[in-house]
Structure 1
Amino acid sequence: MCLIIFAYDYHPRYRLVVAANRDEFYERTARPAAFWPDEPLILAGRDLKEGGTWMGVTREGRFAGLTNFRDPSSYKPDAPSRGHLVQNYLTSRLDPESFIANLADKGAAYNGFNLLMGTYDSLYCFSNRDKQLCEIEPGIHGLSNGRLNEPWPKVRQGIKKMADCLQQDSCTAEPLFRIMADQEQPPDQDLPRTGVSLETERMLSPAFVTSPRYGTRVSTVILAERSQRIRFWERSFVPGNPHDFNEVHFEF
């Protein structure tokens, strides 16, 4: 994922509300979200190049999602796939503290990442940039390709728009998908400086990213009720078009 806006222990009905976008090269193939035949408790999309995933839930109430940490100066071309971190947490029985404690050198072998993980009882975020595991406080948060709640324009806007959405009498998937479909271009002076060119910063700055070869491939909305009922939607897009998609929906 490249943008995750989420409300944790904030809404009276929902323990967790997630709206997220996965940005990737169009040529990298993936399967839409489904329960995995080899791991039937997992509901997630699947990267067909490396076999991992970017976000998923389980029938037992585990959740994990990952964003890349943008730091081109430290990129390692031979690093293992970060998508296995999400998969490994979802298939494990470990709590987040134990999972990170068992991660060799706290994930130093991987390129930069942020990993959200937890259950109905608690939610944590870990980055291998500072190697700190922090427990998520109740509220609305945003995570892109920097640190948790780092105020990039799409993070600030996503948090504000989710807050507005959750003030409504009923929270549904469609307004959350509209947040993720935003293509507004912020002014140059508001862009982060992450070591890529200004042209690339501009291209990556909207919530929904488009370019000839790279962009938003998938949007995901998760509504996890306090009753432990989960509703999960995923939209897979025709490259470059937030209005042309295939959708899957699961409830359990």
Structure 2
Amino acid sequence: MCITLLSTAHPAYPFILLSNRDEFLNRPTAPAHWWDAPNEHVLGGRDLQRSARGTWLGITKQGKIANLTNFRDEGEEVARNKSRGGLVTAYLAPPPKSEWDDETFVKYLVDDLGIHNVGGFTLLFGELREPKDGSLPGLAAVSNRTSSATGVPRIATKLGETHGLSNSHFGDTTWPKVVHGEQLLKEAIDADSGREHNQEGFIGRLFNVLSVDSLPRPEEGENFQTFTRQLRNSILIPPVGGQGIISKPADKVAAADGTDTPGNGEVKVGDGIYGTQKQTVILVDTKGHVTFVERTLFDGAAQPTPPDQNSTRFDFDIEGWHR
């Protein structure tokens, strides 16, 4: 039950995004890195289980960002050859100077790619640019229920907004973790805005938001599928479920460019331990400087990653920020 929290309310950072990726911990996943050619302008992790090598969260040197959460539509037919993570790649991967505006992208998803049988999802995407008179381009919100390129809702179009999204449609306030996450992010921003700013301390407080565990513990003998409804109550999902299935860590099965995955067809996904696998904090300051920090909490063998080895940081300036 992943969660995304974003805000445009911090005076020093007109865009903040927090993300927890919740998954079966044995699912092979590449840590965040600059992708191999011809997509070397893209920064993000990658799912190594499926050949599409999709991602749940990515950002480009030109300021394009996309984040996907999925959910289950009961009774809906899903095409097994379609990857929801591939939708993020479809937005981020085109060459930096290609003419691909948001409406054209949505039209491509609906008319050409086909998204109504890809499984339940919400995709946030857009370009990050310098605020103009308190306004921003914002992010479009598309789902598998989107029927046309017109009328797609946009969020984070003004300074002062804070939003949350989990494994349901955008705007669903029945999920306690979303409501709680929005509140905690607002409080972290308010606290930081009222003191002398220290970026490292602020990043630590944001990871604290992502690490709030309020999950009721399963009762003895409770079926995991029944227990999954409880996952909507907690921002962080501690390891729950069966015994971990031993598989090769992602960094061992991936080639140097992070996309080759020999032997992963034998990894059984959808079984074993489930929980928050990765946490990400993205800050974009008023000059267009991006700070991207990812924490990997568990390796591909479902083993905890030592705290002194679980964090990766990237810093870069958005090309065209003042455009």
TM interval, shorter chain, is: 0.7 to 0.9
Q: Distance in 2 between matches of 1:84 and 1:150?
A: 24
Look up the match of 2:15. Answer: 16
RMSD between aligned alpha carbons? Answer: 2.4
Q: What's the offset of the Cα at 1:186?
A: 6.7
The answer (yes or no) to whether the contact 2:117–2:144 under 8 Å persists in 1 is no
Look up the match of 2:140. Answer: 124
Q: What's the offset of the Cα at 1:71?
A: 2.4
Q: Distance in 2 between matches of 1:40 and 1:208?
A: 31
How many residues align? The count is 243
Aligned with 2:14: secondary structure?
strand
TM-score for the superposition, normalised by structure 1 = 0.88
The answer (yes or no) to whether the contact 2:47–2:55 under 8 Å persists in 1 is yes
Look up the match of 2:68. Answer: 66
Q: What's the offset of the Cα at 1:129?
A: 2.5
The answer (yes or no) to whether the contact 2:110–2:146 under 8 Å persists in 1 is no
Q: Distance in 2 between matches of 1:197 and 1:71?
A: 15
TM-score for the superposition, normalised by structure 2 = 0.69
Matched AA of 2:315: E
Gaps of 5+ in 2: 129-136, 218-223, 242-272, 317-323
Q: Given the alignment of the two structures, is residue 98 of structure 1 paired with residue 100 of structure 2, yes or no? A: no
Q: Distance in 1 between matches of 2:102 and 2:234?
A: 31
Matched AA of 1:234: E
Aligned-residue sequence identity (percent) comes to: 33
Look up the match of 2:119. Answer: 111
The answer (yes or no) to whether the contact 2:138–2:154 under 8 Å persists in 1 is yes
> Where do residues 148-187 of structure 1 align in structure 2 (5 Å cutoff)?
148-151=170-173, 152-167=175-190, 168-169=192-193, 170=197, 172-185=202-215
Deviations 1:16-47 (A, max 9, x none): 10111111112210110010122110000011
Look up the match of 1:248. Answer: 312
Matched AA of 1:91: A
Quickly say closer, same or farther: Cα 1:111–1:95, change in 2 above 3 A: same
Which one scores higher on RCO, CA 8 angstroms, separation ≥ 6? Answer: 2
With 68-77 and 114-123 compared, the bigger mean Cα shift is at 68-77
Matched AA of 1:25: F
With 225-234 and 69-78 compared, the bigger mean Cα shift is at 69-78
Q: Distance in 2 between matches of 1:2 and 1:241?
A: 19
Would you identify which runs of 4 or more consecutive aligned residues in structure 1 move more than 6 Å? none
Higher strand share: 1
Quickly say closer, same or farther: Cα 1:243–1:134, change in 2 above 3 A: farther
With 89-98 and 31-40 compared, the bigger mean Cα shift is at 89-98
Q: Distance in 2 between matches of 1:197 and 1:217?
A: 19
Q: What's the offset of the Cα at 1:183?
A: 1.0
Q: 1:211 aligns with which of 224, 240, 252?
A: 240
Quickly say closer, same or farther: Cα 1:32–1:242, change in 2 above 3 A: closer
Q: Distance in 2 between matches of 1:205 and 1:242?
A: 25
Look up the match of 2:286. Answer: 226
Quickly say closer, same or farther: Cα 1:173–1:242, change in 2 above 3 A: farther
Q: Given the alignment of the two structures, is residue 134 of structure 1 paired with residue 128 of structure 2, yes or no? A: no
Q: What's the offset of the Cα at 1:69?
A: 2.3
Q: Distance in 1 between matches of 2:152 and 2:81?
A: 21
Matched AA of 2:57: M
Quickly say closer, same or farther: Cα 1:122–1:144, change in 2 above 3 A: same
Q: Which has the larger radius of gyration?
A: 2
Aligned with 2:167: secondary structure?
coil
Aligned with 1:248: secondary structure?
strand
Gaps of 5+ in 1: 188-195
The answer (yes or no) to whether the contact 2:79–2:118 under 8 Å persists in 1 is no
Q: Distance in 2 between matches of 1:221 and 1:37?
A: 23
The answer (yes or no) to whether the contact 1:215–1:240 under 8 Å persists in 2 is no
Q: Distance in 1 between matches of 2:182 and 2:7?
A: 9
Q: Distance in 1 between matches of 2:71 and 2:216?
A: 20
Q: What's the offset of the Cα at 1:150?
A: 1.4
Q: Given the alignment of the two structures, is residue 81 of structure 1 paired with residue 95 of structure 2, yes or no? A: no
